[in-house]
Amino acid sequence: MCKKYELTDEEIVIGFHKLYRIRALKDFGNVKVNELGGFIEDEQNLSHENDCWVCDNAKVFDNAMVFGNAKVFGNAKVYDNAKVIENALIYDEARVFSDVRVCGENIVAGNTIIWGNANVYSRTKISPRVSNNGRVQKMCL
């Protein structure tokens, strides 16, 4: 597998987690070689496959994962075993944590907080709070 990014020496600490800014090693999607991204704790947080990316001051850490073509940007935080999959977008000041799964064509933005085993599927734009085994899903009747 060819790596698409590397960890830089720029680091920040959040609680007990040391995060590193990432840098693109090649062009992919809308990302250009040498472009700086956001912050991740280690390479387990962001897949080297497809076009997924973390940019701006966004942070992904604490066993969270971003893969597929998902994007995390702005000042968003994804952590504590959360997974952002497929074409999902997490941005602004959004926080996604505590075993949450966001997948499909979803947009999580603004000051949204999603936590506690919640699952977000299909095409939705979320701005409220979803928690405690909550599920947001497009229903076909």
- Could you report the per-residue pLDDT of 74-122, keeping only the tens digit for each? 999 999 999 999 999 999 999 999 999 999 998 898 888 998 888 888 7
Per-residue model confidence (pLDDT) at position 141: 33
- Could you report the per-residue pLDDT of 31-75, keeping only the tens digit for each? 999 999 999 999 999 999 999 999 999 999 999 999 999 999 999
- The DSSP-derived string for 33-88 is TT-EEEEESSTTSB-SSTT-EE-TT-EE-TT-EE-TT-EE-TT-EEETT-EE-TT-
Read off the pTM.
Answer: 0.89
- The DSSP-derived string for 112-135 is -EE-SS-EE-SS-EE-S-B-SS-E
